Amino acid sequence: PNAQKLRNLQSFSQSADTLGDGSAKVAWPDLPYHYYIATDGVVLEGRDVRYEGETNTDYPLTGHLQVVVEGNFEETEPTAEQLASLTRLVVALAEQWDVPAASIAGHGDRAPGQTVCPGEALIPFLPTLREAVAAGDGSGGGVSGTPPPPCRAHAPSAAARASRACSRARRR
């Protein structure tokens, strides 16, 4: 089921469409996000971290890793599994890319007034996530990290290393 979710997201992403607010969405070359966290907490890799992500909002994306958490957090709460996986993933990515805790932000922080993302139910977890990153501890909750530009020479294996680090953290 999770692989099908990614295929559906990729199909939507690669098609021109009209968004719910009536604005046009251009076709993107691939999934917009680097990582996808399903409702069961499974972390799926999306777009290769060497490539800039996509968004329907207007802000510079260079140097950002985009993590999406499945759900509409204006209407529902994230699951405990999602928060645990999100924390492990972001802590691992922050360690890998040397991202300071203060750089961890939600979509709405980067695109003020353009989106309600990550949603009222997920926004309160951002400070906890920043604390977990600062402590190097995978036990908290939050939204996305901002690494150095993804085109660095060592970037091709960063996703694999982050995934292994997340897997190691999950086994603890």
Residue range 50-79, pLDDT digits in tens:
888 888 888 888 888 999 999 999 999 999
What's the chain's average pLDDT? 80
Name residues whose C-beta falls within 8 Å of residue 70's C-beta, 6 or more positions apart in sequence: 5, 36, 37, 38, 39, 82
Measured CA to CA, the distance from residue 133 to residue 152 in angstroms comes to 22
**For the whole model, what pTM was predicted?**
0.75
Helix (H) or strand (E) holding 24: strand 24-25
Residue range 5-29, pLDDT digits in tens:
888 888 888 999 888 888 888 888 8
